[in-house]
């Protein structure tokens, strides 16, 4: 029997293929290729990842004076003809001009990807005590208000290669919004996993979207919602108290892996993370939505600054230099916004890298939980102003906000 040599076989095939190619090339025209006005790949990339989306408020749903949903439609008059597709769980960064300040704030998309194909994004805005952006939107946005938004962003999405087939969702307050998108996408067949949602609220009256998700659950056995109420009387079918490890174990699958997705305020993360740590779940199965803006650095044991000190911040941007002041407990990004400097930002929590800037001199404090810098960033003096607090006078080089 002849020896079988696979490398010889492949080489023979390759040689015959070369000859065939040369014949085809020899017959083809050598006329210059006509330049196209645009290329399909570029058109697709622009549609999926637009640099900016011009939107308009199409409808407002008032859940309460301090909580509204805004339905946003494309604004063709400014060049946005359709909305970018997204993965459930992503957010939009909304740009605002408030009292001469240029602000960007991230809001999870509460509608489903299929809704975007129908021309609608839904964001839900809750008034935050002292929150400049939320108050402005709730008090000033009306039907027809023009809005500038980013493309959909963020990594709080379901990835079947990484995540388990069952996700225990832990939502707190307005952190329910990405879970509404997940639930809707599951019912519409665009996501395929089982969602067990533990939804923490003070009372049922605060549990926005709870009834709607419960109704989805009635028609879809992949969705389950459990309200967890921290105040008031016991409500039938709801749990009382907080979302503890014991409660997670009560509803999570007993005999298979599960992922935990969390979205809510910082206090909820602080509490829930300690509980989850006792469950021995692998790190890749625990996923957080953005931590949100960081306040009160002075509460950290490793903070060495003076929260009340006021520092000079020299901001270099596009060849111009501006000197502003910043308190020790204020992020550089907030200080720039307050001074009307259009500094770029999206996530505002050290994750996206959009505000990436060079620290030319001085020192900053970056809380460990929001320090998303790579080793090279630290070596070459790059910081994220959205989560950097001054420890001294500072000089930074900041890229201008693109397209704004
Ligand atoms: S805005 Fe995302 S890292 Fe600063």
Residue 2: pLDDT above 60? Answer: no
Contacts of 145 (CB under 8 A, 6+ apart): 56, 57
354 Cβ below 6 A of ligand 1: yes
- As a whole number of angstroms, the distance between CA 68 and CA 47 comes to 28
Helix H or strand E segment including 275: helix 266-277
According to the model, what pLDDT value does residue 404 have? 47
d(CA 337, CA 131): 13
Q: State the average pLDDT over residues 301-320.
A: 95
Domain edges within the chain: 45-149, 166-288, 305-397
What tens digit of pLDDT does each residue of 174-213 get? 899 999 999 999 999 999 999 999 999 999 999 999 999 9
How remote is the CA of residue 345 from the centroid of ligand 1, in Å? 5
Contact 311/291 with Cβ under 8 angstroms? no
The CA 353 to ligand 1 mean position distance, Å, reads 5
- CATH architecture of the region 305-397: Roll (3.10)
CATH architecture, range 45-149: Beta Barrel (2.40)
Least confident of 7-21, 76-90, 150-164, 315-329: 7-21
d(CA 110, CA 367): 29
65-121 tens-digit pLDDT: 899 999 999 999 999 999 999 999 999 999 998 888 888 899 999 999 999 999 999
Detail the DSSP E strand segments found in 40-187: 53-64, 67-74, 91-98, 101-108, 121-126, 146-149, 166-172
Distance 228 CA to ligand 1 centre (A): 32
To test the pocket of ligand 1, the residue of 350, 358, 370, 401 to mutate (highest count of ligand atoms within 8 Å of its CB) is 350
Per-residue pLDDT, 271: 93
189 CB burial (10 A radius; 0-12, 13-18, 19+): exposed
> Can you tell me the distance from the alpha carbon of 400 to that of 201, in angstroms, rounded to the nearest whole number?
39
Per-residue model confidence as pLDDT tens digits over 300-310: 999 999 999 99
Angle between helices 210-219 and 177-187 (to 10 degrees): 20
Find the 10 Cα to ligand 1 centroid distance in Å: 51
CB distance 103 to ligand 1 below 6 Å: no
Q: Give residue-wise pLDDT tens across range 387-399.
A: 999 999 999 999 9
Helices (H), 76-122: 113-117
From ligand 1's centre to the CA of 356, what distance in Å? Answer: 7
CATH number of 166-288: 3.40.50.80
Mean pLDDT of the chain: 92
Q: What is the mean pLDDT of residues 236-241?
A: 94
Whether ligand 1 lies within 6 angstroms of the CB of 337 is answered as: no
């Amino acid at each position: 029997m002849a020896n079988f040599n696979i490398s010889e076989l492949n080489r023979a095939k390759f040689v015959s293929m070369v000859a065939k190619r040369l014949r085809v090339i020899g017959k083809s025209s050598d006329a210059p290729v006509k330049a196209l006005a645009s290329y399909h790949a570029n058109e697709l990339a622009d549609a999926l990842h637009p640099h900016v989306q011009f939107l308009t408020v199409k409808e407002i749903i008032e859940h309460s004076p301090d909580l509204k949903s805004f339905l946003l439609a494309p604004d063709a008059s400014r060049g946005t003809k359709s909305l970018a597709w997204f993965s459930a769980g992503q957010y939009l960064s909304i740009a605002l001009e408030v009292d001469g300040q240029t602000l960007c704030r991230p809001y999870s998309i509460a509608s489903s990807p299929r809704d975007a194909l129908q021309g609608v994004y839904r964001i839900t805005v809750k008034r935050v005590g002292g929150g400049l952006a939320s108050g402005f939107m709730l008090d000033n946005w009306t039907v027809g208000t023009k809005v500038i938004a980013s493309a959909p962003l963020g990594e709080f999405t379901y990835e079947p290669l990484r995540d388990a087939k069952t996700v225990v969702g832990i939502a707190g307050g307005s952190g329910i919004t990405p879970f509404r998108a997940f639930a809707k996408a599951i019912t519409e067949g665009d996501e395929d996993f089982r969602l067990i949602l533990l939804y923490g609220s003070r009372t049922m009256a605060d549990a926005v979207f709870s009834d709607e998700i419960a109704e989805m659950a009635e028609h879809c056995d992949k969705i389950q919602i459990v309200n967890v109420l921290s105040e008031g009387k016991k409500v039938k079918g709801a749990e009382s108290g907080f979302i503890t490890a014991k409660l997670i174990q009560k509803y999570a699958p007993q005999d298979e892996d599960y992922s935990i997705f969390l979205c809510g305020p910082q206090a909820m993360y602080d509490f829930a993370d300690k509980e989850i740590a006792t469950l021995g779940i692998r790190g890749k199965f625990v996923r957080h939505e953005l931590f949100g803006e960081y306040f009160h650095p002075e509460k950290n044991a490793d903070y060495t600054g003076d929260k009340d000190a006021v520092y000079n911040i020299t901001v270099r941007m596009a060849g111009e230099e501006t000197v502003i002041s910043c308190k020790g407990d204020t992020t550089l990004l907030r200080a720039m916004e307050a001074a009307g400097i259009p500094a770029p930002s999206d996530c505002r929590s050290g994750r996206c890298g959009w505000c990436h800037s060079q620290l030319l001199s001085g020192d900053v404090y970056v809380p460990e939980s929001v320090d998303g810098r790579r080793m090279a960033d630290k070596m070459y003096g790059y910081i994220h102003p959205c989560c950097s607090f001054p420890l001294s006078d500072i000089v930074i080089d900041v890229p201008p906000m693109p397209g704004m």
